[in-house]
Amino acid sequence: MTKSFPIIVELEVPQKAEEILSFTKTVIAKINQHKSLNSEQQGRIKMILIELVTNSIKHGNEGVSQIRLVIDQPSLTIQKSEKGLHIKFSSSSQQIPFKEIDQRLKISFSEQNRHHIQTLDTYKFKFLNPYLEGLTIEHMPEHFGFYIITMASDSFIYQYDPETKENSFLVHLNL
């Protein structure tokens, strides 16, 4: 039987840390039903899922978070959506909504947590390679979640819909 792509799978994000590992295994099994993943791809997807779910649990967002998988040829998009307020950066950073589009910015969520982003729209930005300035233990952050997703994926985009108050984290992988 010929499969018709894209295949869309929707899942509820677990709310307990103890459920993360089994959740990642379930998701990878579902993807493997439609597209055979090698161990390197499985490893990257696992890292991304662990961090997306950890982020939801850590920040205790109101309501249930959803994960939507779009399995296509030859790509995979993992989208996490959750209701709530949009991301806020530390006070020294430019804030959402952005005034200028297609601009590279340095933002931070805490003193030691610096990110490079590119603004794509008023409420949308893309995470860029966090290691542009090298790496030393003195400047090493203690919060790696978004770094890991950025480095494990081919594209990591955040967007917010002010009307529906929905946060979306879009992770794209070329498979």
Partner 1 sequence: MKIRKQQIDEVLAIIIEEKEANLSKSEQFKELTLQEINNGHRKLIISFVNVDYLDSSFLGALVAILKSLLPLDGKLVLFGMNEDILNLFQITRLDKIFVLKMSLEEALKEF
Query: Measured from the CB atom, is 57 or 70 closer to partner 1?
Result: 57
- Give the CA angle between residues 9, 11, 12 to the nearest 5°: 165
Among positions 12, 121, 133, 144, the unique one binding partner 1 when judged by CB under 8 A: 144
Residues 147-166 that bind partner 1 (CB under 8 A): 147-148, 151-152
The reply on whether position 29 binds partner 1 by CB under 8 A is: no
Overall size of the chain counted in residues: 175
Among positions 141, 158, 159, 169, the unique one binding partner 1 when judged by CB under 8 A: 141
The reply on whether position 143 binds partner 1 by CB under 8 A is: yes
Let me know: does 7 contact 34? Beta carbons within 8 Å: yes
Among positions 1, 2, 4, 18, the unique one binding partner 1 when judged by CB under 8 A: 18
The reply on whether position 139 binds partner 1 by CB under 8 A is: no
How far, in Å, CA of 21 to CA of 3, rounded? 28
Strands in 3-73 per DSSP E: 7-12, 66-71
Residues 6+ apart with CB under 8 A from 82: 13, 56, 61, 63, 64, 65, 66, 166, 167
**Closest to 23 measured CA to CA, from 6, 41, 39, 9:** 9
Residues 48-67 that bind partner 1 (CB under 8 A): 50-51, 54, 57-58
Residue ranges in contact with partner 1 by CB under 8 A: 17-18, 20-21, 39, 43, 46-47, 50-51, 54, 57-58, 131, 135, 137, 140-145, 147-148, 151-152
